[in-house]
Structure 1
């Protein structure tokens, strides 16, 4: 694969990843406006809690997607799996965009919402493993950490674009009531329409040399082969647990926390979240480049210690923030620590497996752990608030980070995908 093909492949994979996460995060960004549309009207926290539960349900389909598309990526190629995943996400977004409200069709409305999120979960479960594997395999060894950082750049940019679209609608084109009435459907339509372009881009991708060589050797993966790498599977789960909870706490949940707990307006909460995400995205390739120089392990240790011992005091300070600037600074500080994980986690996990089982080995345990801990983070935070013990959530985040820290301490200082692995 020449340099031009490598860059086109990275761009095509990244563009699809951005669209998939835009579709996924549109749900969380617009929840404060459409929660009432799918559930009986009542207490605002209760409506958000119901919507967060559906958000979590979508995550439980991610292990299925990680398994199915991981097997497909290892058997038929990374490009095939990536192309299918973006179409499944399109179907889910389109279903939400055209779904009637609870007042129009009753219980069928939340049922359609759940089914749509299951489709999106299936898509995203396979997207991460195939994308992480593809980026790791097509990147040059000396800059693999740098290019790996772009996986979370596109992930964050997808979320950021969802927030920017919301800000544009809030401040420029629509009133809050219009967004709540019908405007929340627009981003889901935008996401489903963008799938056409991404489908074309991914059809032009060149398969990675590692996969082609594995095919020539007729290497085969599957459940039996994955079982041989059970230690690596457990390490993926351990690495993901604290990282995904921290990520979803300081990105997805922050908008609701600022508006629902700290009393910021919806517009201010959205703006703070958008700015913090923009800074966070810029951090990813920079942290990845640092890992190419000093190794992956020091960055993971930075995250492990920082998140384990810094979460409780940081969230405590955030709870007492008196201004938007103070809240923004604290959130950026938390995301700086989280970048020690997010910037390089894809390549670290890919480096744990050989080519023949790499996509499945990364996708399935990652998706399983994210569904159990990432997808439920927002729900647990809201549950703690409703129970009258919101500070419990900070201790929960610290506990999951401690698991990641322990996992990092068991890792060998492996910073390259060896030629033997493919």
Structure 2
């Protein structure tokens, strides 16, 4: 029988206060596991931030719009590999363990990043250049397909019952730290080098920095301890068993995918697409756009744990419903107000408001999804739902937004795309709630 997503309970069991040593150990575990997640998002973000330079280096077509679209589609192509990574690597983590699997994903991400950092340009090696870039993105996508799920599941399993929302929210918070770091590096590089130097080699600097971080992150992540939840399981399912269980619970995966649409679309709108939108659509400087992106990351880094903790107190559903309603109602009007008189101040205000809506939703959603997937297939189930939403909707948000603006001439149309994502996720949440109430009646 298909399993529907249950309504999260609002009641929280009272737990004895944790000792100072236990708290230090918990935060150490959060830092260790989130460090690799930081690299995964850093590498993904810098590709989006430098889309214009990458398009000129690897996808010269004679048309600036066509080159940018090819680059953004390559950015999105990495997301097409996420469902594959979710199934294959997710099953590996559920079978072999959280620690071993997360070390593997870090290695794959490192390989993809290195390929992008050192590949010669189209002018130097011809068609081999965009092919290598595409392969590097696909390898990154394979790793990223399970990184978010693996980290979220790990944090959920080490968290005390009364703080699962707070713990799990640090998966997303670590991504925001990467957004800030990538934006600040980009701001420093773009203001220090001339446009010609940036195009020639300056855009590679953030990727090289990512490569330099890899050995240190390997050392950090090797200190991860396996979760007690995994160690206490006497049987670890094989790939065939995992696929059958996922098939029997396809309703959970489908509904989780639809609920993840909002968080993935909003995330890539306010982070990966902001530098391109600010410079190409609003004609603001690259520095201004990157500064706004850094501010968005800082705001989310603070808000996500706050919203995760709030969901521990009042329940997941109130936050999920409030955020989706606000996203549906406000996204397009905010964008229309921005494009009516583009300025740094308006871009900052709109992005921060959208970031608050995103953080409210994501802070509750990530832990919500970990709680409804069967424990023995939790990594692959979570990763598959999240990666499908990213591959179909979120990851292509920069390309879809660019295409919609080109087709309609409406510079605010990306706001309509965000609103549609919010409506879809709200519908999935409400329908799931009704199904669950009928089952428990």
TM class by smaller structure: over 0.9
Moved more, 1-10 or 360-369: 1-10
Map Cα deviations across residues 283-316 of structure 1 (whole Å, 9 max, x no partner).
Answer: 1111111111111111111111011122111111
Show structure 1 runs of 5+ residues with no match: 414-422
| SS of aligned partner of 2:213 | helix
Cα distance in 2 for partners of 1:309, 1:84 equals: 42
- Report matched runs for 1:203-242 at 5 Å: 203-214=222-233, 216-217=234-235, 221-242=241-262
Contact 2:46 2:206 in 1 (8 A): yes
1:296 matches 2:322:
no
Contact 1:56 1:371 in 2 (8 A): yes
Map Cα deviations across residues 142-177 of structure 1 (whole Å, 9 max, x no partner).
Answer: 111112221111111112211111111122x42222
Cα distance in 1 for partners of 2:380, 2:269 equals: 27
- Report matched runs for 1:314-325 at 5 Å: 314-325=334-345
Q: Of 123, 127, 132, which aligns to 1:112?
A: 132
Q: How many residues align?
A: 411
Cα distance in 1 for partners of 2:189, 2:164 equals: 38
Moved more, 130-139 or 393-402: 393-402
1:188 matches 2:211:
no
Q: Of 386, 392, 413, which aligns to 2:406?
A: 386
Cα distance in 2 for partners of 1:217, 1:77 equals: 12
Moved more, 283-292 or 270-279: 270-279
Contact 1:60 1:371 in 2 (8 A): yes
Cα distance in 2 for partners of 1:162, 1:88 equals: 20
Displacement of 1:277 after TM fit?
A: 2.0
Displacement of 1:384 after TM fit?
A: 1.5
Give the aligned CA root-mean-square deviation in angstroms. 1.8
Say if 1:6 and 1:412 are closer, same or farther in 2 by CA, change over 3 A. Answer: farther
Q: What's the TM-score once normalised by structure 2's chain length? A: 0.89
Q: Which runs of 4+ in 1 moved over 4 A?
A: 1-5, 217-221
Displacement of 1:410 after TM fit?
A: 3.5
Structure 2 match to 1:405: 426
Structure 2 match to 1:56: 76
Structure 1 match to 2:108: 88
Displacement of 1:97 after TM fit?
A: 1.0
Contact 2:335 2:414 in 1 (8 A): no
Contact 2:80 2:391 in 1 (8 A): yes
Show structure 2 runs of 5+ residues with no match: 1-20, 435-441
Contact 1:138 1:208 in 2 (8 A): yes
Contact 2:236 2:376 in 1 (8 A): no
Structure 2 match to 1:73: 93
1:138 matches 2:158:
yes
Moved more, 80-89 or 391-400: 391-400
Displacement of 1:217 after TM fit?
A: 4.9
